[in-house]
Amino acid sequence: MKFFVDTADTNEIRELAATGLIDGVTTNPSLIVKSGRDFKEVIKEICELTDGPVSAEVTALETGAMLAEAQELLKIAKNVCIKLPLTIDGLKACKALTDEGHMVNVTLCFSANQALLAAKAGATFISPFIGRLDDMNIDGMELIEDIRIIYDNYDFETEILAASIRTANHVKQSAMAGADVATIPPAVIKGLAKHPLTDKGLEAFLADWAKTGQSIL
């Protein structure tokens, strides 16, 4: 499963990119606001930090305006992936952009039927929001599983990008459910490496090493 980092914080992206774990980046208007920076400048810098897709979201609601914004965003870098809302206008824009060979991430997906429409419109990625469904006492993982079955039934090439991930368990469950990609907040990615037994074992090894009085350097 590919990992995208869900942030507009370029320092976080730079740090995680050094691990080799990051295959792309997703942003949204809320993350841009949090960064406190100019939208286009942030996207440009992120695109320089990764060769993978960098999702940049349009803010228009009508197809023509979406396409105009998309063309402006596509000028920033070759790895910009246009992020569109899952609406009829968004699907029209998706079809137009993918027909031109551009990457498109269709976002705010909350049903398997919506995911089916996005695939038929040629979306590169579909972003089902797991955490927001969980907030409503709906199992977000069932949505991932349903989309996986539908896409496999018809050999759709659209990749399932598990979004709104809140916990390490969300990452594991998404991988088990067959998601192609998970877009994950930096803190959750870092948390995947943590385990109390790892810490305990390392502490014991270092204590024993100290007893030898040796130094590797």
Identify the band that residue 112 occupies on the pLDDT scale cut at 50, 70 and 90: very high
Residue 194's pLDDT is 95
Please identify which of the residues 2, 40, 78, 83 carries the catalytic annotation. 83
Residue 45's pLDDT is 97
**Cα–Cα nearest to 182, from 125, 115, 138, 132:** 125
Domains of the chain: 2-212 (3.20.20.70)
Q: Cα angle vertex 41, ends 84, 53, to 5°? A: 45
pTM of the model: 0.95
Question: Please, which residues have CB within 8 angstroms of residue 118's CB and are 6 or more apart in sequence?
Answer: 86, 91, 94, 106, 109, 126, 158
Answer yes or no: 172 catalytic. no
Cα dihedral sign, 63-127-16-18: negative
Between helix 140-154 and helix 168-177 the angle, nearest 10°, is 30
Identify the band that residue 38 occupies on the pLDDT scale cut at 50, 70 and 90: very high
Per-position DSSP letters for 177-207, written without gaps between them: HT-SEEEE-HHHHHHTT--HHHHHHHHHHHH
Condensed to tens digits (0 to 9), the pLDDT of residues 52-82 reads 999 999 999 999 999 999 999 999 999 999 9
Residue 121's pLDDT is 98
